[in-house]
Amino acid sequence: MRFRVATLNLEQDHKRWGRRRELVIDQLGAIKPDLLALNEVCMPERTAHWIRDRAGERHGLEYHLVQQTRVNGLSAVEGEALLARFPVIETGNLDYRTRDIVALVARLAVDGNRLDVYVTHQIGSVFNDSLRLYQAQQLLAWIDSRADVAARIVCGDFNATLDMPSAALMASRFKATQTAPTAFTPLAGANGEVSHPDWPRMDRCIDYIWISDALTVVESRVCFDQPSPSDPTLWPSDHAGVWADLELRRA
């Protein structure tokens, strides 16, 4: 069974969301993923709902939506989401108890197999990697507690390159579908501000699709990486995303 998965950090509704969301939908239609993991969905603007609805209207892509807000005060601000074209069997969530960050999991029925898809967004790049390492340890322990499924995918913005301990730990257990640069695009807000203005553009991989041994990578590339034809400062997000075509061995 072959299917396509993609992941993207949406940058909430910041930096001209009303205009760049059209780029998200256009470029979504170009890759047509069966699964789309989203970080930083904006809860007040219901950005994941908007993408789900427009994907159906414009591209005929009918998705189920699974969503998990962050905790405490951020629960009203942002969360993680998964759009899935496969039936959802069950869902779950993990509170890291650090910086209000969470992970979600959806167990899906895929061609007679069960597939667990995790979506998470680990603590920001400006923080010491020790916090991300702690989160990666918690995430892996949670995944191990759900050991009745062999096919697993972990998606999201890990805010770490592979030379950092947190991402290296993930790589010791899962395979990254690619390591091309995903951050940061030159997306500018209405006042010209960009994310991390002193950092180079698109020089690091921090967004990943990690897969277990029950899955094989057929092809993987960076996506959501094209600016507006009329405005080189307008991009789908401040990150590029990743897509991967995967092969799932029948159980």
Instruction: Quote the pLDDT of residue 124.
Output: 87
The residue that leads in pLDDT, 250 or 190, is 190
Mean pLDDT over 200-223 rounds to 98
Mean pLDDT over 103-117 rounds to 97
Fold classified for 2-242:
Deoxyribonuclease I; Chain A (3.60.10)
Instruction: Quote the pLDDT of residue 127.
Output: 76
Q: What are the pLDDT digits (tens) for 142-184?
A: 999 999 999 999 999 999 999 999 999 999 999 999 999 999 9
**pLDDT(250) > 90:** no
Alpha carbon of 29 to those of 15, 16, 22, 108: distances in Å? 22, 21, 11, 22
Sheet with 35-42, strands from edge to edge, namely 64-69, 78-84, 35-42, 2-9, 241-248, 215-223
Instruction: Quote the pLDDT of residue 186.
Output: 98
Pairing relation of β-strands 113-121 and 88-95? unpaired
Give the span between the Cα atoms of 138 and 202, in whole angstroms: 29
Which pLDDT band, with edges at 50, 70 and 90, does 125 fall under? confident
Sequence-separated (6 or more) residues with CB below 8 Å from residue 4: 31, 32, 33, 34, 35, 243, 244, 245, 246
pTM: 0.97
CA 190 to chain centre: 25
Q: What are the pLDDT digits (tens) for 224-235?
A: 999 999 999 999
**pLDDT(251) > 70:** no
Which pLDDT band, with edges at 50, 70 and 90, does 73 fall under? very high
Mean pLDDT over 210-216 rounds to 97
Give the span between the Cα atoms of 203 and 199, in whole angstroms: 9
Query: Which of 64, 9, 4, 52 is CA-nearest to residue 32?
Result: 4
Q: What are the pLDDT digits (tens) for 86-97?
A: 999 999 999 999
